[in-house]
Amino acid sequence: MTANLTLVVVASVLVGTGAYLFLSRSLIRALMGFLLMGNGVNLLFVIGSGPAGSPPIVGAGDGGPMADPVPQALVLTAIVITLAMTAFVLALAHRSWQLARDDLVTDDTESARIHARAEIEDGGDVAEGEESP
């Protein structure tokens, strides 16, 4: 089986662009990144599922190549999960906009305080004769 190089490149671009957007602090950009990555992975599933144009299940007498129906079922399931996740994140972004007129995720001050405390405690465990970094 040979995969279409154009589809592989398109899927790679979708996943790469999605990963870039997903790392943003904006909820809407992160949602767009999630959607692009999901579409790229779904495209990779379809590419890897079998020869193009072949039905997933072929009768016993046909003897032709048979595509695997499992990736197609996984893609349909992923589409439903993506729809639910999109609705949830849009609701979060809408609520964030209502409260703060901003959709950026803020720093968690408690997490930063715990992280700083852990670094101080780790620095106190230096053995005699060694310098802390």
Tell me the average pLDDT of the chain. 82
pLDDT at 121 over 80: yes
Q: What is the pLDDT of residue 102?
A: 86
Contacts of 92 (CB under 8 A, 6+ apart): 27
Q: What is the pLDDT of residues 20-57, one digit of tens each?
A: 999 988 989 999 999 999 999 999 988 887 666 666 66
Cα separation, 126 vs 133, whole angstroms: 10
Q: What is the pLDDT of residues 2-11, one digit of tens each?
A: 678 899 999 9
Domains of the chain: 5-54+68-122 (1.10.287.3510)
Contact 41, 15 (CB under 8 A): yes
What proportion of the chain, given as a percentage, has pLDDT over 70?
77
